[in-house]
Amino acid sequence: MSQGDDEELEPLGPEVTALLGAAYASPPPAGVKDRGRSRLRAGIAASAAIVATAHSARVAAGTPATMVTAKGWLIAGTLSLGAAIAGGLAIHHARVWVRPPAPLAPSNLGHDEHQVAAVASTLALEQALLREARQAIAAADLAAANRLLDSHEQRFPQGALTEERETLRIIIAARAGNLASARARADVFRRRFPNSIQLPVIDHATLPRPGRR
Amino acid sequence: MRDGSAPQATIQRAKATLVRAVNDRSADASWTSIEDIYEAEFENLWRSLRRLGVPEPQLEDAVQEVFLVAHLRLHTFDRSRPLRPWLFGIAVRVVAEMRRRRRRDRPQGPAAEALVLEALVGPEEALSARQAQALVDEALGVLDFDQRTVMVMHDLECLSAPTIAEALSLSVNTVYSRLRIARGKVTAFLRRKRERP
């Protein structure tokens, strides 16, 4: 493939070649490599933690999940880390973190394991969102819960936890006193997921309650 | 006079082609983690980033950034491919991003031209590495970043045009055309320097 690719080019003169060869010969200053190794470890640890935290932080801040640079390169906002410490790195990376999620423990995994890890971390993100939504419902903050579910729907329209998300929507509608809406949603849900394990929960949520019609 | 031996330029060209072939194909899959890659590639990457024009004070951060991005993207890397061009491709994007930020943060001053070239009085082989470096820095400084990247990859990193094209998501023709322009500019610059030091 590379054989003869030079044939298309005028060769560089020997003087230029010699000059290019002589340049950039000095090694990095002593200590830089060791320092860099420690920083890299801190950065890796930080980036692993981010999978679990950045997402909910962003949701809480209402930031859309679209802060990706061209071609999915995760470099925006991570430079100028002159005095980077683990925490600092975490923040920088959190700001740019988008799909695809980082592998859970990328260093020692083979290719297939990476795929598994990627799926697992996607699921972890889904779970984290719905967990927060449940907590919001428990705290009677239905608007916040709905926002979290919107966010889940936006990011994972066909996610593994779609049924759970729709179930929470029905519960929220019912708790908000909008039983008609809850029942309409429940009807859609039953048609869409006739064998869902969530059906008993939905049935219960849409039962008429005292003082509520 | 023809004595049957190959001219120096031909030998040099054959040698470069051979080195490129080896660099292209050396898929060293002995690493198992980003830390292995760091141990093996740190010095080389440091040098590559200097060649791409990263100023000395920012080298450490740039190296760090490349390895972090490599870590995040490692699961997308095809292990049957050589590592170095892939890493270099990341380096190019990191440097491009740094340049964008630098331009945004403060206007780019003129190159520190005065530093250079007092020393370029004797024959080339008498140049110290430092002087050669300053001269090459200056010569590469006349290129725009895209041209510089291609010339560094081809003529300093000794990668072939197809490998460069793959690493940078360019067509091979684009690589060649940038390389031609870059070489022309650098050669002309050095010629001017020699004539009017």
Q: Tell me the per-residue pLDDT of A108-126, one tens digit each, with 9 for 90 and over.
A: 444 555 555 555 567 777 8
Query: With bands split at pLDDT 50, 70 and 90, how would you rate the model's confidence at A172?
Result: very high
From the list A74, A81, A118, the residue facing B61 with the nearest CB is: A81
Could you give the CA distance from residue A160 to residue B72 in angstroms, rounded to a whole number?
Answer: 24
Average pLDDT of span B158-178: 91
* A102: contact with B, CB 8 A cutoff: yes
Query: With bands split at pLDDT 50, 70 and 90, how would you rate the model's confidence at A44?
Result: confident
* Residue B136 or residue A5, greater confidence: B136
Alpha helices in B52-171 (DSSP H): 59-73, 83-105, 129-141, 145-151, 161-168
Average pLDDT of span B170-177: 93
* B190: contact with A, CB 8 A cutoff: yes
Query: Do A17 and B101 make contact, defined as CB atoms within 8 angstroms?
Result: no
Cβ A154 vs Cβ A65: under 8 Å: yes
* A158: contact with B, CB 8 A cutoff: no
* B38: contact with A, CB 8 A cutoff: yes
pLDDT tens digits, residue range B45-85? 999 999 898 888 888 889 988 998 888 888 888 888 888 89
CA–CA distances in Å: residue A54 to residues A120, A160, A191, B133? 16, 20, 35, 43
pLDDT at residue B129 in the model: 60
**Torsion, CA B3, CA B7, CA B10, CA B15, rounded to 10:** 90
Q: Which residue of B has its CA nearest to A42?
A: B68
Q: Which residues of B touch A25 (CB under 8 A)?
A: 129, 133
CB atoms within 10 A of CB B51: 26
pLDDT at residue A170 in the model: 93
Residue A38 reports pLDDT greater than 90:
no
Residue A77 reports pLDDT greater than 90:
no
pLDDT at residue A210 in the model: 60
Query: With bands split at pLDDT 50, 70 and 90, how would you rate the model's confidence at B123?
Result: very low
**Cα-based angle B75, B78, B81 (whole degrees, multiple of 5):** 145
* Residue A89 or residue A194, greater confidence: A194
**Nearest to A121, CA basis, from A43, A59, A46, A48:** A48
Token couple for A62: 């209402």
Report chain A's mean pLDDT, rounded to a whole number.
Answer: 68
Could you give the CA distance from residue B150 to residue B148 in angstroms, rounded to a whole number?
Answer: 5
* B32: contact with A, CB 8 A cutoff: yes
Could you give the CA distance from residue B153 to residue B85 in angstroms, rounded to a whole number?
Answer: 9
* Residue A154 or residue A98, greater confidence: A154
Cβ B10 vs Cβ B62: under 8 Å: no
* Residue A70 or residue A164, greater confidence: A164
Query: Do B35 and A35 make contact, defined as CB atoms within 8 angstroms?
Result: no
Residue pairs between chains A and B whose CB atoms are closer than 8 Å: 175
User: DSSP 3-state helix, strand, coil percentages of chain B (rounded to 5)?
Assistant: 75, 0, 25
Residue A66 reports pLDDT greater than 60:
no
Q: Which residues of A touch B38 (CB under 8 A)?
A: 36-37, 40
* Residue A143 or residue B14, greater confidence: A143
Cβ B37 vs Cβ B70: under 8 Å: yes
* A76: contact with B, CB 8 A cutoff: yes
Q: Which residues of A touch B71 (CB under 8 A)?
A: 40, 43-44, 47, 106-107
From the list B9, B34, B133, the residue facing A11 with the nearest CB is: B9
Instruction: Determine whether B149 is exposed, middle or buried from the number of CB atoms within 10 Å of its CB (0-12, 13-18, 19+).
Output: buried
pLDDT at residue A70 in the model: 29
Closest-CA distance of chain A to residue B115, Å: 16
ipTM (interface predicted TM): 0.71
pLDDT at residue A96 in the model: 33
Query: Amino acid letter at B43?
Result: E
Token couple for B87: 């890493």
Closest-CA distance of chain A to residue B135, Å: 8
Q: Which residues of B touch A49 (CB under 8 A)?
A: none
pLDDT tens digits, residue range B34-56? 899 999 999 999 999 998 988 88
pLDDT at residue A79 in the model: 32
pLDDT tens digits, residue range B19-35? 777 666 655 667 888 89
